[in-house]
């Protein structure tokens, strides 16, 4: 590995064409033992980056030498269903329920409730539950499922997406789709069910793998004076936005929401859907999330039709992870924000592929420790470099003027000569 790292370092320029003084902000960064570390970008770092490609984020030694530093490939924006996580089943309660309005094929129907807790270290968006159960007969078609959690108003009615049952084994499974449920503690209930029904396990399907979940930040909306029922907002240009939650306000709200980004002189639509939040039977049916390919830009617009007041928008993103190839322990300087400096293009991907080939696909390097931000050069670094003087244009005009003067001189000379007989 050291030979590969040495090759990587040799490919980098021995001294950077830029220095830390070409950047607006700086952070002290500490590396532990080892030659490879990673850095997870924080909201504060994104706020300091001035370019959408984040090439004005760089790493230096204290002596001003550029350090091998670059982004790792982002995780794909695809649903994660191949490896659901098991939820821990806690307290289970059974309550009698009336079956006057629901025909059932068993006596004494009950409402079964289970307290569930996620074993995933970081809370993530749950898109579906797989409930395994056992009974001598299948569940009635009229059985109603719902999910309650601390981050929801009331309960979320879960939609049955698939249902299977084996009469030979008495085992069944029901797959429930949820509307972007977030949280690590929830309560699952179903009614009516027979009193001897046994829940044997609950699996949770997450939007993304644990550790790759989205973070959210609130957008500051300003009414768009050029478009009806629209609001503009600005985000850090390098923020990798791939989702948005649109809160329409009071319950009962229903509207079509459209998200667009500014490209040149026009707006490009990135997502559009119907959003709603309605209370039903002491619960809530909510759909308020837009998902789209990762987009990095500064100017955004949200359109709401019909006009129901100013919504609340939280944009979702997966923070970028950067790889650092430098012998540790070491104290380095992370800098960001520049109109004239650009990070060298280090070949990070081949190094990471080799490392994971040797240590496994799930291997990750230790994380670097980031200190507090301070000003380096400040706003002066964000001013673009003045363009060089137009020497070529000046030279062309000089030639043209000289030619015009030469022609004028020749014309005057010809006019002064006496006419020939």
Walking along the chain (421 residues) 10 residues at a time, the average pLDDT comes out as: 49 61 94 93 95 94 93 62 70 74 60 79 69 84 75 58 82 80 76 83 72 80 84 95 84 81 91 80 71 91 86 91 93 94 89 86 88 91 74 80 83 72 56
Would you state the pLDDT for residue 361?
Answer: 75
Q: Classify domain 215-317 by CATH number.
A: 2.60.120.260
Largest CA distance in the chain: 137
pLDDT tens digits, 341-356: 889 889 888 888 888 8
> Beta 321-336 vs 159-166: how paired, if at all?
unpaired
Would you state the pLDDT for residue 10?
Answer: 46
Would you state the pLDDT for residue 260?
Answer: 94
Alpha carbon distance 414, 374 (integer Å): 73
Would you state the pLDDT for residue 420?
Answer: 62
Would you state the pLDDT for residue 3?
Answer: 52
- Scan for tokens 């994104």, then name that residue: 46
Q: Classify domain 80-206 by CATH number.
A: 2.60.120
Neighbours of 404 (CB within 10 A): 10
Alpha carbon distance 160, 166 (integer Å): 18
Would you state the pLDDT for residue 156?
Answer: 60
Would you state the pLDDT for residue 45?
Answer: 96
Would you state the pLDDT for residue 217?
Answer: 93
Model confidence, pTM: 0.66
Would you state the pLDDT for residue 145?
Answer: 84
Domain 80-206 identical in fold to domain 215-317: yes
Would you state the pLDDT for residue 205?
Answer: 79
Would you state the pLDDT for residue 48?
Answer: 95
* CA proximity to 348, closest of 325, 330, 320, 321: 325
Domain boundaries, given as residue ranges, for the chain: 2-72+321-382, 80-206, 215-317
Would you state the pLDDT for residue 41?
Answer: 94
Query: Which burial class, exposed, middle or buried, applies to 303 when counting CB atoms under 10 A from its CB (0-12, 13-18, 19+)?
Result: buried
Would you state the pLDDT for residue 55?
Answer: 93
């Amino acid at each position: 590995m050291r030979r590969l790292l040495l090759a990587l370092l040799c490919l980098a320029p021995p001294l950077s064409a830029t220095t830390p003084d070409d950047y607006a902000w700086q952070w002290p960064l500490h590396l532990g033992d080892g030659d490879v570390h990673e850095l997870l970008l924080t909201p504060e770092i994104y706020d300091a980056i001035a370019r959408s490609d984040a090439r004005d984020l760089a790493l230096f030694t204290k002596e001003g030498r550029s350090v091998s530093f670059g982004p790792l490939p982002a995780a794909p924006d695809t649903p994660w269903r191949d490896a659901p996580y098991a939820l821990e089943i806690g307290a289970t309660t059974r309550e009698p329920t009336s079956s006057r309005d629901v025909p059932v094929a068993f006596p004494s129907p009950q409402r079964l409730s289970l307290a569930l807790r996620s074993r995933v270290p970081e809370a993530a968006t749950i898109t579906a539950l797989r409930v395994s159960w056992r009974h001598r007969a299948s569940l009635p078609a009229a059985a109603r499922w719902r999910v309650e959690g601390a981050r929801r108003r009331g309960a979320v009615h879960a939609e049955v997406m698939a249902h299977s049952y084996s009469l030979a084994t008495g085992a069944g499974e029901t797959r429930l789709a949820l509307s972007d449920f977030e949280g690590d503690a929830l309560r699952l209930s179903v009614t009516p069910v027979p009193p001897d029904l046994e829940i044997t396990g609950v699996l949770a399907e997450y939007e993304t793998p644990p550790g790759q979940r989205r973070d959210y930040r609130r957008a500051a909306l300003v009414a768009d004076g050029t478009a009806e029922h629209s609001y503009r907002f600005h985000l850090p240009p390098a923020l990798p936005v791939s989702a948005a939650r649109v809160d329409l306000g009071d319950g009962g709200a229903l509207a079509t929401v459209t998200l667009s980004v500014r490209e040149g002189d026009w707006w490009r639509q990135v997502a559009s859907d119907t959003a709603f939040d309605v209370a039903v039977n002491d619960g809530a049916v909510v759909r308020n999330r837009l998902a789209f390919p990762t987009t990095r830009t500064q100017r955004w617009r949200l359109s709401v039709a019909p006009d129901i007041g100013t919504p609340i928008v939280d944009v979702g993103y997966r923070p970028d992870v950067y790889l650092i190839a430098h012998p540790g322990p070491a104290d380095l300087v992370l800098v960001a924000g520049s109109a004239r400096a650009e990070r060298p293009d280090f070949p990070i991907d081949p190094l990471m592929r080799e490392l994971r080939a040797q240590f496994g696909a799930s291997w990750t390097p230790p994380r670097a420790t980031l200190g507090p931000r301070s000003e380096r050069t400040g706003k002066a670094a964000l001013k673009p470099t003045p363009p060089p003087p137009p020497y070529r244009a000046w030279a062309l005009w000089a030639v043209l003027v000289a030619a015009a003067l030469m022609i004028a001189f020749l014309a005057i000379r010809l006019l002064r000569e006496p006419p020939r007989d």
